Amino acid sequence: MLYTSTRNNSIRVSAAQAIAQGISEEGGLFVPCELPEFSMDKIGSMVNMTYIERAKTVLREFLTDFTDDELDYCVNGAYAANKFSSSKIAPVVNVNGNENILELWHGPTCAFKDMALQLLPYLMTVSAKKTADGKTIVILVATSGDTGKAALEGFKNVENTKILVFYPAFGVSPMQKLQMTTQEGENVAVCAINGNFDDAQSSVKSIFTNDEIKSQLATKNMMFSSANSINWGRLVPQIVYYFSAYADLIEQGRIKLGDEINVVVPTGNFGNILAGYYAKKMGLPIKKLVCASNTNNILTDFLNTGEYDKNREFYTTTSPSMDILISSNLERLLYHMSGEDDKLITKLMSSLNSDGRYTVSKELISNIQTVFDAGFCDEKSVADTIHKYEKDFDYLCDTHTAVAVKVYENYVERTGDDIATVIDSTASPYKFSKSVLSAVNGSLNADLDEFDAVSELNRVSGVNVPEPLKELKDKEIRFTDVCNKENMSEMVFKLLEL
Ligand SMILES: *Cc1c(COP(=O)(O)O)cnc(C)c1O
C-alpha cells in the first residue's frame, strides 16, 4: 500500500516513510492511496480473535512494507498484557439498552491516546530503520493534556529517540500536569508554555518546518518527527478498535454479523472519529458517525453548515482534551470526501491559515452529512450527565465521555435512530477527579486537593482507582520549565543540548 499527501497527490511514499517523516514536505498529511476492503466473512472471523490478533488483521493491510516478524514484534509489544488493566484491551460495556461504551482508557496513562501511542514508538523505530538510516528521531509534541503523557510513556527510554513535550500552562488538569512533570526516562523533556493548545500546536508546526533548526539537527544526525495525530502511525492503530468493538457486540449477542451500528466520538483533533470513518469505508457496517463537541463547538458548526471559522471565543472547559479550534485531521476527511482534490485542500488550508476560516461547497458538505452527524454539549449538561449515569446506571463517566453520551441522547431524541450504538469513552474518570466528583455529589469541597478528590470519588462510586494514577502521589517532580510561545525554538535547542 502506498500513501500520498492531501496537498499534493502526485507524491507516493511507503507506510514506513509516512510514519518516520510524520508530515509531508509541503505541509499536507499522509493518507492511503486506496483503502483495503474487508468482507463480512473477514469481519466475522474477528469475533473469536484476541485484540492482538484483530490488530494484526487490520494493520497487515496498511503496513504492507512491514514483514510479519516486524508486525508481530510491534503489536505484541504494544498490547502486552502487563500494560493494560483489561485483558480485552478495549472492552465494550453495555450501559443501557442499545447504548454500549467502548472503554479506550485501560492503558498505562488512563486515556485513549495509549491505544495508538503504545504502538507508535514500535512503528516509528521499525520505520526509521527502514528509511532514516540510523538517525535519532526527535519527537516534538504539542499537547492538550493526554497526548503528552501517553507519548512520553510510549517513547521513554526507546533507543534512538528523544521526546519533547509542550503543554499549555493553564490548559490541562492537575492530574494531567502531574503525570507529565513526574515523567521518568532518560530521553524525555517537558515544558509548559504561556498560551493555549492551539498556540502550542502552531508553534510546534513552525519549528518542524524551520530550516535553520532542521539543519542544526542534521549536523547531530537527528531528525524531527511527530507523535500528534497528524502522523499516520497514530491514526492507523485506532482503526482496529472499531472492528474490535463490532466483533465484541456480536460476541455479546447484541447484534448479528451485518447489522448496522452507530458510533459516537468525543472529538478534538478529529483523529479518533476519522479512524471510525476509515473503518466504515473498509466495510464495517457503521451507519452514522456522530461527532460530539464541548462548548468549543466549531466542528458542530462546520458539520451543520459547511463553514469552518476559528475566529471565535476559546473556552477552557472540564473536558480539556477537546478544547481545540483547529482540528487537524479534518483535512484528511475533506481530501477523501472531495474526490481527492489536493488543489482544493491546499486552498482551504491556506485560507484557514491566513483568515482563520474556510467554506466548502454545498455538495461537499451534504456528502459529509450523509456519513456524519454532529452535536455539542455545554458544561452544565456534562455535569448532569455524569450525575445521572452514576445514579441511574451505576456507570462512572469522565467529562469527555459525558459529552459524547449527552450528544448521543440528543441525537436519538432528534432522529429517533436508536440502533445499537458504540460510544467511545476516552479517559478514566480519575484523570478528572474534581470535575467528576463535583458532578456526582452536586458540589465540591474547595479544600480538597487532587488526591483527596481521587479518594473521595473512590469512596462514593466504588470504582477502582487505576494503579498508574495512584502511584503519582509519591513521584518526584522533574520538569518545571515554562516558556513563551515565541521562545519555543530556543527551548528546543536547550532541551536537546544543541
Ligand atoms: C485526545 C482526546 C480526545 C479527542 O480525540 P481526537 O482524536 O483528538 O478527536 C477526546 N477525549 C480525550 C480524553 C482525549 O485525550
Atom index in ligand 1 nearest the CA of residue 426 equals 13
d(CA 282, CA 267): 21
Atom index in ligand 1 nearest the CA of residue 105 equals 13
Q: What's the half-sphere exposure (Cβ side, CA atoms, 13 Å) at 260?
A: 10
Distance in Å, CA 246 to ligand 1 centroid: 21
Distance in Å, CA 299 to ligand 1 centroid: 14
Query: What is the number of other CB atoms lying within 10 angstroms of the CB of residue 232?
Result: 25
**The pLDDT value given to residue 312:** 96
Query: What is the number of other CB atoms lying within 10 angstroms of the CB of residue 404?
Result: 29
Q: Is the dihedral of CA 300, 304, 308, 310 positive or negative?
A: negative
Distance in Å, CA 67 to ligand 1 centroid: 31
**The pLDDT value given to residue 28:** 95
Q: Which residues line ligand 1 (CB under 6 A)?
A: 111-113, 146, 229, 266-272, 321-322, 400, 426-427
Q: How far apart are the first and last CA of the chain?
A: 37
Distance in Å, CA 432 to ligand 1 centroid: 14
**The pLDDT value given to residue 135:** 87
Distance in Å, CA 113 to ligand 1 centroid: 7
**The pLDDT value given to residue 205:** 82
Distance in Å, CA 321 to ligand 1 centroid: 5
Q: Please state the separation of Cα 21 from the chain's center in Å.
A: 19
CA dihedral 145, 151, 152, 155 (to 10 degrees): 180
At residue 317, what is the residue type?
Answer: T
SS (H, E, C) the chain: CCEEECCEEEEEECHHHHHHHCCCCCCCCEEECCCCCCCHHHHHHCCCCCHHHHHHHHHHHHCCCCCHHHHHHHHHHHCCHHHCCCCCCCCEEEEECCEEEEECCCCCCCECHHHHHCCHHHHHHHHHHHHCCCCEEEEEEECCCHHHHHHHHHHCCCCCEEEEEEEECCCCCHHHHHHHHCCCCCCEEEEEEECCHHHHHHHHHHHHCCHHHHHHHHHCCEEEEECCCCCHHHHHHHHHHHHHHHHHHHHCCCCCCCCCEEEEEECCCCHHHHHHHHHHHCCCCEEEEEEEECCCCHHHHHHHHCEEECCCCCCCCCCHHHCCCCCCCHHHHHHHHCCCCHHHHHHHHHHHHHHCEEECCHHHHHHHHHHEEEEECCHHHHHHHHHHHHHHHCCCCCHHHHHHHHHHHHHHHHHCCCCCEEEEECECHHHHHHHHHHHHHCCCCCCCCHHHHHHHHHHHHCCCCCHHHHHHHHCCCCCCCEEEHHHHHHHHHHHHCC
Task: Name the residue at shortest CA distance from atom 8 of ligand 1.
Answer: 269
d(CA 265, CA 292): 6
Mutate which of 328, 426, 430 for ligand 1 pocket (most atoms within 8 A of beta carbon):
426
At residue 460, what is the residue type?
Answer: V
CB 251 within 8 A of CB 225: no
pTM of structure: 0.94
Grid coordinates standing for 336? 477523501
Atom index in ligand 1 nearest the CA of residue 427 equals 13
Measured in degrees and rounded to the nearest 5, phi and psi for residue 61 equal: -75, -25
**The pLDDT value given to residue 491:** 86
Percent share of the chain, pLDDT over 90: 81
Mutate which of 117, 146, 376 for ligand 1 pocket (most atoms within 8 A of beta carbon):
146
Q: Is the dihedral of CA 273, 278, 284, 287 positive or negative?
A: positive
Total residues belonging to the chain: 498
Q: What's the half-sphere exposure (Cβ side, CA atoms, 13 Å) at 10?
A: 2
Q: Which residues of the chain have pLDDT under 50?
A: none
Angle between helices 450-461 and 433-441 (to 10 degrees): 50
**The pLDDT value given to residue 156:** 94
Burial class (CB in 10 A: 0-12, 13-18, 19+), 407: buried
d(CA 431, CA 450): 10
